[in-house]
Chains A and B, each alone.
Chain A
């Protein structure tokens, strides 16, 4: 089955810096790559997604890039703020999730 690896498992940045989280996958047939944010005590919430016919997608301070040849995709958060602190999950399709990255943004 599909194998999704997510790195790093924890990430600490200073407010205003950028944060990058990367995921790699194994099934070259995959064509949908969402990212979720999970705040404490809540369920995951979709923040951005990308399909295989697109290389990059942006939404304000967040962006996702996809390299289908190398089978990896990344979440980029610029100008981080304390409220960005959460656990972030990548997924391939909607049933294969990475292990999660705990992002801490220090004021």
Chain B
């Protein structure tokens, strides 16, 4: 079954404690990205990756890092989480750059992160 898998799905952590949210896709997609979803703001892109070892900032990259060492994995790293990073996070993947070509994006089921 084609899917994007994120872990953990739910996490409560404390300010400053480094954490990683993993993301894995089994569709051999080249393009992967991370979004955060906040009430009234929709989804905002944090980082994206066009292929292995290629990552770029999205609209709200501050406080986040990513890496793309393998095609299937795209972890999101919060080196020093702060309360304003409390949000619902989604990982997504598609065949190629979806910005103009319209490749369907597949989303994971989301990771609820609370930073206290």
Contacts and interface: CB of A to CB of B under 8 A. Distances in A.
Contacts of B98: 32, 93-95
- Most B CB contacts (10 A, CB to CB) among A94, A95, A97 go to A94
Interface stretch (A13-21, A38-46, A57-65, A76-84): A38-46
Contacts of A4: 42
Given A93-B98, A95-B58, A42 B42 contact: no
Nearest to A100: B42
A70 to B, nearest CB: 21
Contact of A94 (B41, B99, B110): B99
A100 B105 CA distance: 17
A34 B106 CA distance: 12
A43 B99 contact: no
Main secondary structure of the interface of A (DSSP, over half): loop
Contacts of A97: 35, 42-44
B109 A44 contact: no
B37 to A, nearest CB: 8
B35 to A, nearest CB: 8
Contacts of B43: 44, 89, 97
Nearest to A33: B102
A32 B104 CA distance: 11
Contacts of B48: 95
B42 A34 contact: no
B48 to A, nearest CB: 8
Contacts of B92: 43
A95 B100 CA distance: 10
7 contacts: A34-B105, A41-B109, A43-B90, A46-B105, A93-B99, A97-B43, A99-B42
Interface of B: 4, 33, 35, 40-45, 48, 58-59, 90, 92, 94, 98-105, 107-110
